[in-house]
Structure 1
Amino acid sequence: MYTILRSVLLVLSLTSCTSYKYATEGNTQKSNLTMGTVKSKVIKGQTTQDEIMKLFGSPNLVSKNKLNKEVWSYNRMSVENKAGSTDFFAGQRASQSSSSKSFDLIITFDEHDVVADYSVVSTAY
């Protein structure tokens, strides 16, 4: 009986190790909002608002700057949680960690709805 109980506990402790990813909106679909896409497709003085909309979809935020130029902001954030194993004999959870990544794209348009400037901020913590 003791051997069976020990085997069950061992199996449970080994299967409790998990790793999962989620996006802030619950959507794990691959996004076009990447540094590669921005560098290859967004061209100052050429790319239009319509092209930006087709590439990245609707912006997270639309505003105007001091010069009354339209500014679109995009944000993509992902979080990865890694849960450690549980030590059933000690009754404690061992090591648990998480990491976050954020990618922000800010685009300023001119009076003709063409990209005047853009900036990218990418962080990982």
Structure 2
Amino acid sequence: MKLIMILSMLLSTIVLNGCMTASQHRNEVQDNTTDRVTVGTVQREIKVGMSGSDVLQILGSPNIVSTDDQRREVWVYDKIATDYAYSSSSGGAGALILGFGSEVLGGVGGSYNKKAGAASKSQRTLTIIVKYDGEGRVRDFAYHTSRF
């Protein structure tokens, strides 16, 4: 009987060892690269008077290049990120009771199983507008971020 108890505890430990919460899973799959364009990048790196090539090195290519009413260039960066999170959990219990007699071998078994899950989706946007003067230097910039 002790052997069955030890084996069932060992099996439970092995099975439960692979479980993780939704927040642990998100941390495992989250992209933490340092070359992403963020509000902090704009605030820290973009300065009035810098050249267009410096802006290109920091932010990359713009999504839209336009001109204002005085024919000065305006660059627009529009970044969209979609986050998906899904978690599921299931649990169950099973039992098997065996009886050994001198001539009789028998057993009784049963099980229980329950499943649950949740999913969420959110989007983040970052719009950056960089306005240049007639000499190709940053004269103004603005940014807007949202999450929904």
Long gaps (5+) in structure 1: 1-6, 23-27
Selected match of 1:116 from 116, 136, 139: 139
Residue 66 of structure 1, CA deviation: 2.1
CA contact (8 A) 1:21 1:79 kept: no
Per the alignment, residue 3 of structure 2 pairs with none
Q: Which entry has the higher C-alpha Rg, 1 or 2?
A: 2
Q: Identity of paired residues, percent?
A: 21
2:79 matched residue in structure 1: 76
| Structure with more of its chain in strand, by fraction | 2
Two-structure CA RMSD over aligned residues (Å): 3.1
Distance 1:53 1:113, change over 3 A: same
Q: Secondary structure at the match of 2:135?
A: coil
* 1:105 and 2:128 correspond: yes
Give structure 2 stretches of 5+ with no counterpart.
1-11, 92-112
Range with bigger deviation, 80-89 or 103-112? 80-89
SS of structure 2 residue aligned to 1:85: strand
Shift of 1:86: 6.3
Matches of 1:21 and 1:68 in 2, distance apart? 42
Quote the offset at 1:76 in angstroms: 2.3
Pairing 1:48–2:51 present: yes
- Whether 1:60 and 2:63 are equivalent positions in the alignment is yes
Residue 40 of structure 1 and its aligned partner are, at CA, apart by 2.2
3-state secondary structure, aligned to 1:50: helix
CA distance in 2, matches of 1:108, 1:77: 21
* Shift of residue 70, structure 1, vs aligned partner: 0.5
